[in-house]
Amino acid sequence: MTLEAKLIEEIKKWTAKLDGALSAARVRSEQGKKMFSNIKAYRGDSEHFLKQGDLIKSFECLIWAWSLLEIGKELKHLE
Protein backbone atom coordinates (compact mmCIF):
# COMPACT_ATOMS: atom_id res chain seq x y z
CA MET A 1 0.00 0.00 0.00
CA THR A 2 1.36 3.40 -0.95
CA LEU A 3 1.75 6.24 1.51
CA GLU A 4 -0.98 8.13 -0.34
CA ALA A 5 -3.37 5.18 -0.03
CA LYS A 6 -2.59 4.85 3.68
CA LEU A 7 -3.28 8.55 4.26
CA ILE A 8 -6.59 8.35 2.40
CA GLU A 9 -7.53 5.33 4.51
CA GLU A 10 -6.67 7.22 7.71
CA ILE A 11 -8.62 10.29 6.60
CA LYS A 12 -11.69 8.18 5.89
CA LYS A 13 -11.37 6.26 9.17
CA TRP A 14 -11.01 9.38 11.31
CA THR A 15 -13.71 11.24 9.40
CA ALA A 16 -16.16 8.45 10.21
CA LYS A 17 -15.13 8.52 13.87
CA LEU A 18 -15.47 12.31 13.97
CA ASP A 19 -18.93 12.11 12.40
CA GLY A 20 -19.98 9.65 15.10
CA ALA A 21 -18.57 11.86 17.85
CA LEU A 22 -20.30 14.94 16.41
CA SER A 23 -23.66 13.21 16.25
CA ALA A 24 -23.32 12.31 19.94
CA ALA A 25 -21.94 15.69 21.07
CA ARG A 26 -24.11 18.18 22.93
CA VAL A 27 -23.56 21.92 23.26
CA ARG A 28 -23.54 23.18 26.84
CA SER A 29 -22.78 26.89 26.43
CA GLU A 30 -22.66 29.76 23.97
CA GLN A 31 -18.92 29.16 23.61
CA GLY A 32 -19.69 25.51 22.93
CA LYS A 33 -22.02 26.57 20.13
CA LYS A 34 -19.17 28.52 18.51
CA MET A 35 -16.76 25.65 18.99
CA PHE A 36 -19.20 23.16 17.50
CA SER A 37 -19.66 25.41 14.48
CA ASN A 38 -15.89 25.60 13.98
CA ILE A 39 -15.54 21.84 14.35
CA LYS A 40 -18.11 21.31 11.61
CA ALA A 41 -16.34 23.88 9.44
CA TYR A 42 -13.02 22.07 9.82
CA ARG A 43 -14.82 18.81 9.01
CA GLY A 44 -16.15 20.36 5.82
CA ASP A 45 -12.75 21.81 4.95
CA SER A 46 -11.24 18.35 5.34
CA GLU A 47 -13.70 16.95 2.83
CA HIS A 48 -13.00 19.82 0.42
CA PHE A 49 -9.25 19.26 0.55
CA LEU A 50 -9.70 15.50 0.15
CA LYS A 51 -11.69 16.10 -3.04
CA GLN A 52 -8.95 18.46 -4.25
CA GLY A 53 -6.33 15.78 -3.59
CA ASP A 54 -4.59 17.80 -0.86
CA LEU A 55 -4.31 14.96 1.63
CA ILE A 56 -2.06 16.76 4.09
CA LYS A 57 -4.45 19.70 4.50
CA SER A 58 -7.39 17.30 4.69
CA PHE A 59 -5.80 15.36 7.55
CA GLU A 60 -4.69 18.58 9.21
CA CYS A 61 -8.29 19.84 9.28
CA LEU A 62 -9.38 16.62 10.96
CA ILE A 63 -6.72 17.14 13.62
CA TRP A 64 -8.02 20.66 14.28
CA ALA A 65 -11.59 19.42 14.46
CA TRP A 66 -10.67 16.69 16.96
CA SER A 67 -8.62 19.14 18.99
CA LEU A 68 -11.51 21.57 19.28
CA LEU A 69 -13.87 18.76 20.21
CA GLU A 70 -11.58 17.53 22.97
CA ILE A 71 -10.90 21.04 24.27
CA GLY A 72 -14.62 21.80 24.24
CA LYS A 73 -15.29 18.70 26.32
CA GLU A 74 -12.42 19.44 28.71
CA LEU A 75 -13.73 22.97 29.31
CA LYS A 76 -17.31 21.65 29.68
CA HIS A 77 -18.58 23.66 26.70
CA LEU A 78 -19.42 20.38 24.94
CA GLU A 79 -20.31 16.94 26.16
**All residues at 6 or more sequence positions from 45 whose CB lies less than 8 Å from its CB, including other chains:** 57, 61
- Domain 36-74 in CATH 1.20.1270.90? The answer is yes
Count of residues in the chain: 79
Mean predicted confidence (pLDDT) in 23-27: 96
What confidence score (pLDDT) does residue 26 get?
96
Query: Which pLDDT tens digit goes with each residue over 26-76?
Result: 999 999 999 999 999 999 999 999 999 999 999 999 999 999 999 999 999
Residue 5 has a pLDDT of 96
Residue 17's pLDDT band (cuts 50, 70, 90): very high
Q: Rounded CA gap, 59 and 36, in Å? A: 18
Mean pLDDT of 15-30: 96
Where do the domains of the chain lie? 36-74
How far is the C-alpha of 57 from the C-alpha of 47, rounded, in Å?
10
